[in-house]
Structure 1
Amino acid sequence: MATEKISWIPSIPYPPAQHGQWSPVTSTLNWCEEDYYATIYAAEIVNTLTNLLFMYLAIKGIRNCVTNGHDRIFIVTFAGYLIVGTGSFLFHATLKYPMQLVDELSMIYTTCLMFYATFSYRKSRIYSQGLAAFLVALALFITLYYHYLQDPTFHQNAYALLTAIVLFRSMWIMEVNIRPKFRSEERQAANPRSDSETKEVRDREDVRDKEILRQMWTMIACGLSIFLGGFAIWQLDNVFCPTLRRWRRQVGLPWGILLEGHGWWHLMTGVGAYFYIVWGIWLRHCLNYRQDDYELLWPRWTSMPVVAKQRNAQSNGYHRGSAKKAI
């Protein structure tokens, strides 16, 4: 049955489907966006172009790391984030199985990098090397087993589990090492407070750390809400796909673009993941007792946060500890 267009909305009718440059589809997944309706060069034009946000934020993150001297592991992580966006761009443009593997497996590899950054911090060289070997083996196992199964559910569960482990571990480290009443013995030993320090100095540092924690929890809440919101929209896109396709053709272009749920997933996941990496950078500087050298710049809710050197940063007594240099 033909779909009736809503006449009172100024719009362009959806063009008919056509044979694409990359036909036939060989991926094990095909999303709710109709294939090759806009151009023969991109199977899913909205799902393809929304990955440009990943690329922009990845370049922004890499430049920020280089400019402000953040730990190298975060440059590598942003490079992995860039590969995720690029892989997803190529996957949705072609709907080819090899590009699907680049898209999905790069998510696993980037999460393994954050896993290493989280669990290797201040550990011995032997422990860090053993953890690296374990993560390489795990990534290889997931790659081979996923290629054998070709079941997207396996990939999604593996990614969700790794992400949850890293997230909760980072929250634990943040609370134990920064909140004044939870300061760990390890932190006290690495950066002891001398008897000569005045109560005023200690109180100032406690107030500073509480404010940092407030900022971090706000970032976590925003990033996680955006990420989970995108996941919810994506699931609605899967469940109600026939209805959404009918609505898109009723409202026409460009309004139908707003009903592309997987495109919203890309945008919201990209922002949520960026928030998480920036939080990791800020947390690492705090664990290195450099709270007074760096600051979180997040002037408004609609802007992307960055961690930058303070313009007139001066070392204070709080940095005296022999914190191990991060990888």
Structure 2
Amino acid sequence: MAEGISSFWGPVTSTKEWCEKNYVYSSYIAEFYNTVSNIPCILLALIGLISALRQHFEKRFSVLHISNMILSIGSMVYHATLQHVQQQSDETPMVWEMLLYLYILYSPDWHYRSTMPTFLFLYGAVFAIVHSQFRFRTGFKVHYVILCLLCIPRMYKYYIHTKDTSAKRLAKWYVVTLFLGSLCWLFDRLFCKEISGWPVNPQGHAMWHVLMGFNSYFANTFLMFCRAQQRDWAPKVVHFMGIFPYVKINKPKTQ
């Protein structure tokens, strides 16, 4: 994209740019909207983290919410600088996050408890090293999509075994935000030349950030509900400030 004012970070070295003009508002922020659109994602993950900590959910959910925050911060750094090194701080946490989802989704039925986290940890470490050395583009996207697809059958299983209407609504919002976010991402990528000639840029990639922040929040909340059911914690979906859904549990005294 054509640049406006001078760049504090130097020439762009990332393997891709998005449909937003660089350095329009500040010499320190390459893509302003793509950067600030990560803030809602961080705040939503913070709400989820506070809920998990206050109610003493299993540590896996605290780690999951923190990983959402790390991913959003990494995305902010990447879009602010458009440097190759910072690009890794966006893409590598994306893979780590999906590995966490795989663990949370499949671990309840995994008989050998130590093998799955060990394998996923090593897989994530190897990927981080390899991805830092090779500038994967299409390969990264394909790899990420495969990890996402591995989660879908298990999410669907959880959905059909959940009877609570409010919890099922969370899963539906997860699907809606994923669909809308994907449309925004594709629109931004495929029609960038046309968008560049419009009086106003709809900022499709920034909208993708916001929608995926809500997508992660709905997914995390739904998984917390399902896990609480597995542990017989009598979960129910309530709302913070009448807006943001979260899971309230009632653990038996023996736990």
Normalised by the size of structure 1, how large is the TM-score? 0.71
Equivalence for 1:64: 51
1:113: Cα distance to partner? 1.4
Equivalence for 1:285: 228
1:267: Cα distance to partner? 0.5
Matches within 5 A, 1:64-83: 64-83=51-70
Q: 2:215 aligns with which of 272, 292, 301?
A: 272
- For the residues of structure 2 that align with 1:173 and 1:32, how far apart are their CA atoms? 37
Equivalence for 1:9: none
2:159–2:171 Cα contact (<8 Å) kept? no
Q: 1:154 aligns with which of 139, 149, 157?
A: 139
- For the residues of structure 2 that align with 1:103 and 1:314, how far apart are their CA atoms? 37
Equivalence for 1:19: 6
Deviation sequence 1:82-127 (CA, Å, 0-9, x none)? 0000000000000011111011110111111121122222544xx1
Matched, 1:308 2:248: yes
Moved over 6 A (4+): none
1:108–1:314 distance in 2 versus 1, CA, 3 Å: closer
Structure 2: segments with no counterpart, 5+ residues: none
Secondary structure of the 1:305 match is strand
Q: How many residues align?
A: 254
2:238–2:246 Cα contact (<8 Å) kept? yes
1:131: Cα distance to partner? 0.9
Equivalence for 2:91: 104
Deviation sequence 1:51-75 (CA, Å, 0-9, x none)? 0011111111111111122111000
1:147: Cα distance to partner? 3.5
Q: 2:23 aligns with which of 36, 40, 44?
A: 36
Matched, 1:92 2:79: yes
Deviation sequence 1:27-67 (CA, Å, 0-9, x none)? 11111101001111100000000000111111111111111
What code does the residue aligned with 1:160 have?
V
Secondary structure of the 2:197 match is helix
- For the residues of structure 1 that align with 2:67 and 2:30, how far apart are their CA atoms? 24
2:233–2:251 Cα contact (<8 Å) kept? no
Deviation sequence 1:128-168 (CA, Å, 0-9, x none)? 21111211232234334433441222222222222221232
Equivalence for 1:297: 238
Bigger-Rg structure (1/2): 1
Farther-moved stretch of structure 1 (231-240 vs 156-165): 156-165
Structure 1: segments with no counterpart, 5+ residues: 1-15, 180-209, 251-255
2:159–2:168 Cα contact (<8 Å) kept? no
2:49–2:66 Cα contact (<8 Å) kept? yes
Normalised by the size of structure 2, how large is the TM-score? 0.90
Quote the sequence identity (%).
23
1:240: Cα distance to partner? 1.2
